[in-house]
Amino acid sequence: MKQVCVLGNGQLGRMLRQAGEPLGIAVWPVGLDAEPAAVPFQQSVITAEIERWPETALTRELARHPAFVNRDVFPIIADRLTQKQLFDKLHLPTAPWQLLSERSEWPAVFDRLGELAIVKRRTGGYDGRGQWRLRADETEQLPAECYGECIVEQGINFSGEVSLVGARGFDGSTVFYPLTHNLHQDGILRTSVAFPQANAQLQAQAEEMLSAIMQELSYVGVMAMECFVTPQGLLINELAPRVHNSGHWT
């Protein structure tokens, strides 16, 4: 069985290594600044624990390697603009949104999206960073360099957030864990709880949506999807093309 080379040696990479041991799979989490000659990637399946990475000698080598599973999917999901465009293409429910190109768009934004706008950087900005909650009299808080580099979403009155962790094989088959209910503090995920009896309706909707995404992308491996819970059902918040913190319990 081939070994697995993971781009990134943080918490998720280390946990992947632990998970591989009982399966007899050698997993090598690799720091982004490692020398390519020191990494056994030529005989490995390559994956990553992060969506985006700085350009280094190693990342230049790995990012174009044919053994990098889902290498063409990472750029799509790492950019919230192309991620949202994917949801719209598949007619999957998500918060109404648009690209925020320039300051003069604000009146039209609030007319279309309502009184509360959630601004998110297109790339990065996890754990509450790179995001702003703005009303019409607060738009001056947004740095000038954000225009063109952010999307803006309608503020959603949701009752909670859930995550679904699923996986797809080369043959197109998919499997899923039960939904987890996420609790955040200051924008940072603190607790994920998988209830013994999952909400069957929400579970089915989430599985259908994540399956559609993975099939469209011909994705192979584990993907996580965060959703807002609303009276009308689930709205997709964001995707992660990798293992995810809300799946630690697995």
Alpha-helical (H) ranges within the chain are: 11-20, 57-63, 74-78, 80-89, 106-113, 200-216
Side chain identity at residue 245, one-letter code:
N
- Which residues contact residue 5 at a Cβ distance below 8 angstroms, ignoring those fewer than 6 apart? 28, 30, 39, 40, 41, 44, 45, 46, 47, 62
The pLDDT value given to residue 127: 65
pTM here is 0.94
Axis crossing angle, helix 80-89 with helix 200-216, rounded to the nearest 10: 110
Neighbours of 233 (CB within 10 A): 14
Q: What is the pLDDT of residues 208-232, one digit of tens each?
A: 999 999 999 999 999 999 999 999 9
The pLDDT value given to residue 181: 95
Domains along the chain with CATH numbers: 3-69 (3.40.50.20), 75-93+157-247 (3.30.470.20), 97-154 (3.30.1490.20)
Q: Kindly state the tokens that stand for 141.
A: 């808080």
Q: What is the pLDDT of residues 99-146, one digit of tens each?
A: 999 999 999 999 999 999 999 999 987 766 789 999 999 999 999 999
Q: How confident is the model at residue 64 (pLDDT cuts 50, 70, 90)?
A: confident
Q: How confident is the model at residue 250 (pLDDT cuts 50, 70, 90)?
A: confident
Contact 238, 226 (CB under 8 A): yes
